[in-house]
Amino acid sequence: MTSFQVPGWGYVLMAVGFAAFIALLIAYIVVNRGFKRPVFASPYVLWIIVFTVIPCLLVAYFSFTDPAGNFTLDNFKSFWDANYNTRKGIDPALLQQYQDMGLSLDDLGLGRNPINIDTLVFSLWMAFLCTAICLLLGYPAAHIMADREFRLGPTLVVLFVVPMWMNFLLRTIALMSIMEDGGLINTVLNWLGFGPAKLLNTTAAVQVGMVYNFLPFMVFPIYNVLNKMDYQLSEAAMDLGCNKWKIFYKVTLPLSIPGVVSGITMVFMPAVTTFYISRLLGGGKVQLFGDLIEAKFLSTSLNEWNVGSALSLVMMVLILLSLGLLQKADPKGEGGGII
């Protein structure tokens, strides 16, 4: 397998960034004659630069270059048409001979292949469904947990937090064992006389896995906002003649919008980029955009790695748009956080 080489300027950039960080740290110590609290955030800043900013720059670089390092837009053309590089690698004279024989590109299997676009659209649809289901399930749960009159609210918070202590992969494997042919669900169905059901290796199984893993990320931002809400507002609305439904519609729901937007963003972004859930619960029959990107980077062709970088850049743009929406709707970060 051919190794993927980082360009020389990438190593230079990392070295310069690290040297600049050390120089700024020393200058800060000299000017301020010691450490102040902000300087303790510097290791985190260095971590972000080395493991987030620079990798993003490298992804952008490989997206606009070919394996030889030359600037090209072919990677994005391959995103639009998966057969673009295949057609490009065929001798034009040979293609002309086929066309003279009355054979079209579609007849040769070289027509436009929209699999990348279709996979992206399908991933967006699956992420949308996951987000909608999480919102429908998560908002009532968060509202119940934030209700001061409900004594079991803190207990429910703990029940939502405890599964998050387990590794993401282990949670998915546990769900797979429950949904398999001889798993708990089919055992109960057989005991009730309904017979076994095909649960694994389906789109529905992938959707269940996504909801199961990402539901807490919808619940806790909404819970944070509702838990911080001033209940005197509800009491004032009640004094003005509002019933419980009007209080919810006119007071609670508008005040919880920052948490809802934060939850939507925190669920939608990982849902649209996930790939391991579809591999385990979909059995390779359900391909999401994350699976497509992974396949590109696992390919032995260096050109496919550049195309994979272009696909990753497209996904990064979608994530940045989601973050922009979050910042617009929740500028103070009122819905952020887990607890």
- Name residues whose C-beta falls within 8 Å of residue 236's C-beta, 6 or more positions apart in sequence: none
- In a domain? residue 28: yes
**pLDDT of res. 35:** 59
**pLDDT of res. 337:** 47
* One domain for residues 27 and 143: no
C-alpha dist (Å) from residue 123 to 181, 290, 292:
26, 8, 10
**pLDDT of res. 222:** 93
Whether 289 and 315 have beta carbons less than 8 Å apart is answered as yes
* One domain for residues 234 and 320: yes
* One domain for residues 280 and 162: yes
* One domain for residues 46 and 166: no
**pLDDT of res. 338:** 45
* One domain for residues 15 and 145: no
To 5 degrees, how large is the angle CA 169–CA 262–CA 270? 30
Write the pLDDT tens digit of every residue in 163-201.
888 888 888 998 988 988 888 888 888 888 887 888 888
Given 100, 127, 157, the domain boundary residue is: 100
Range of the domain at 266: 115-329
* One domain for residues 241 and 178: yes
**pLDDT of res. 297:** 86
CATH number at residue 133: 1.10.3720.10
pTM (two decimals): 0.81
- Name residues whose C-beta falls within 8 Å of residue 54's C-beta, 6 or more positions apart in sequence: 10, 13, 14, 17
Alpha helices per DSSP H over 82-202: 84-88, 92-100, 115-146, 153-161, 168-179, 184-192
Count other C-beta atoms under 10 Å from residue 258's C-beta: 22
Whether 146 and 153 have beta carbons less than 8 Å apart is answered as yes
- In a domain? residue 338: no
How many domains are there within the chain?
A: 2
- In a domain? residue 68: yes
- In a domain? residue 48: yes
**pLDDT of res. 267:** 93
* One domain for residues 83 and 122: no
Given 39, 73, 100, the domain boundary residue is: 100
* One domain for residues 20 and 153: no
**pLDDT of res. 243:** 82
Given 41, 71, 100, the domain boundary residue is: 100
Alpha helices per DSSP H over the chain: 8-32, 42-48, 54-63, 74-80, 84-88, 92-100, 115-146, 153-161, 168-179, 184-192, 203-228, 231-239, 244-247, 253-255, 257-273, 276-282, 289-298, 302-329
* One domain for residues 27 and 144: no
* One domain for residues 96 and 173: no
* One domain for residues 143 and 281: yes
